[in-house]
Chain A
């Protein structure tokens, strides 16, 4: 993958320096983002240096102090935004699993899955798949950063879930690979990050939140709360999407990606809430608020994305 297109002064300056053989980091650190799009494409690219990187950027820049400084300042501002959007208090019933499932169930938002199931046309579904590809082609990777930061029981529990996400050792069953095969059969580009220049702010925010939570040890509670909310809101919508794709006659490989998630995530939601978050809270009860913060962020960012797409489609 090459560096994305800049979306403003900061991203243009930063990406140019990242590609340059004699970068002037001072200019990068002096530049402020023009707007949220500019901030988030820059942050997305800085995070990407820790995943698979860019063909036009030296791998050594992953730990370039000025880029880390920039990443920290953008992350700080984004985290503040996310915390400002969140409620001030969280449910504090002692039964965590029950409380968490209820918290997610009570959250009411617009449904992209319902639109895909019943009304979306072919073009809208392909657009949605392009947007989703930014995450699904690195599915579970942001959560993998959390593994070494956990105490024994939560670590074993997270690995039990991740093992399934990563195909139980079979590259053909790795969820990101299933999605790539589906993209290919739909005539879309299956390469990692291929559609980054096409995605709106809301998709960048969803992806950046996962990386922010995954890459910062102090936010491990938020990362796992996000994971749990993601899994709890996956089975039923995945079935609706699979039905919509079947209605439109999309290729079997893409339908299978979603049907795989119906049963897989019915297991994963129980694991994420009970054995992962539940056991972590036994060991580190102070992470409870951040778990709800992560869960809220997951639900809220998906609402924002859904509203954006439904408005654009006048649905």
Chain B
């Protein structure tokens, strides 16, 4: 197995966010662009974060069946 397979750039967390390694610009549904500010960022997939487009942990408050 190559080292690459162990170290993905994008990780989909079950029931939670998408982790993104590296520097990216994300465009949200309104067309606003957000640049990542840390080495790894968590992008919200549940739609409930108050810090869109970033995850703020809110996904943990929704019932398990309704998480991403």
Contact = CB atoms under 8 A, between A and B. Distances in A.
Interface of A: 97-98, 101, 105, 153, 160, 163-164, 168, 234-236, 239, 262-267, 269-271, 274
> Which of B6, B11, B15, B60 is packed against the most chain A CB atoms within 10 Å?
B60
Contact of B41 (A97, A98, A239, A267): A267
A98 B16 CA distance: 11
Interface of B: 6, 11, 13-17, 19, 38-42, 49-51, 54-58, 60-61
B56 A235 contact: yes
A231 to B, nearest CB: 10
B51 A267 contact: no
A265 B57 contact: yes
Given A236-B57, A269-B57, A263 B42 contact: yes
Contacts of A267: 17, 19, 38, 40-42, 55
A236 B61 CA distance: 10
A266 B42 contact: yes
Contact of A164 (B15, B38, B57): B38
Contacts of B15: 98, 101
B23 to A, nearest CB: 12
B5 to A, nearest CB: 12
Contacts of B11: 270, 274
A101 B39 contact: no
A284 B13 CA distance: 23
A234 B56 CA distance: 10
Given A101-B60, A236-B57, 5 more contacts: A263-B41, A266-B49, A266-B55, A267-B41, A270-B13
